[in-house]
Amino acid sequence: MNLEGRKIIVNKSSKDLSELLKSPENYKDFMPDGLQKFETKDNGFKFGLQGMPEIALKIDEVDEQKAVLKSASSSLDFTLTATLNPISETQTEVQMLFEGKFNPFIKMMVEKPLQNFINTLTDKIEAYK
């Protein structure tokens, strides 16, 4: 299952964005309203949203072109990637991409909430100062 967020322009360089996305603590700023739990670990974080199970992510790879988060749970196989495309020294185009391997039943249950989550992450990153 593949989901895409809309492409946005962020008023930060890709270097500044990649530095921001290397730190697990910074992801709390991008979480949707209704965040009930947020815990950081050395290379990742765990969060809980109202009405959803807790999700644990590890920061797999971050550079000036992308930030890749992977599921920290062996029962869920997915990645969430933010592509970083420099437009100028002070602007970067960002797009969230989700790729997961789910059975059809799970896919049916999680597709809409995940798309909403990606849309909210996109909105929060776009509004980030």
Tens of pLDDT, residue by residue over 27-79, are 999 999 889 999 998 899 999 988 778 899 999 999 999 999 999 987 788 99
CB 51 within 8 A of CB 117: no
Using DSSP's 3-state secondary structure scheme, residue 91 falls into coil
Predicted confidence at residue 52, as pLDDT, reads 78
Please name the residues in contact with 11: beta carbons below 8 A apart, sequence gap of 6 or more. Answer: 90, 91
Domain, as residue range, for 123: 2-127
* CATH code of the domain covering residue 59: 3.30.530.20
What pLDDT does residue 51 have? 76
CA distance to 15, 17, 43, 71, 121, per residue, from 118 (Å)? 22, 17, 21, 15, 5
The whole-chain average pLDDT of the chain stands at 93
**How many folded domains does the chain comprise?**
1
- pLDDT, one tens digit per residue, over 79-111 is 999 999 999 999 999 999 999 999 899 889 889
DSSP 3-state of 112: helix
Neighbour count for residue 2 (Cβ, 10 Å):
7
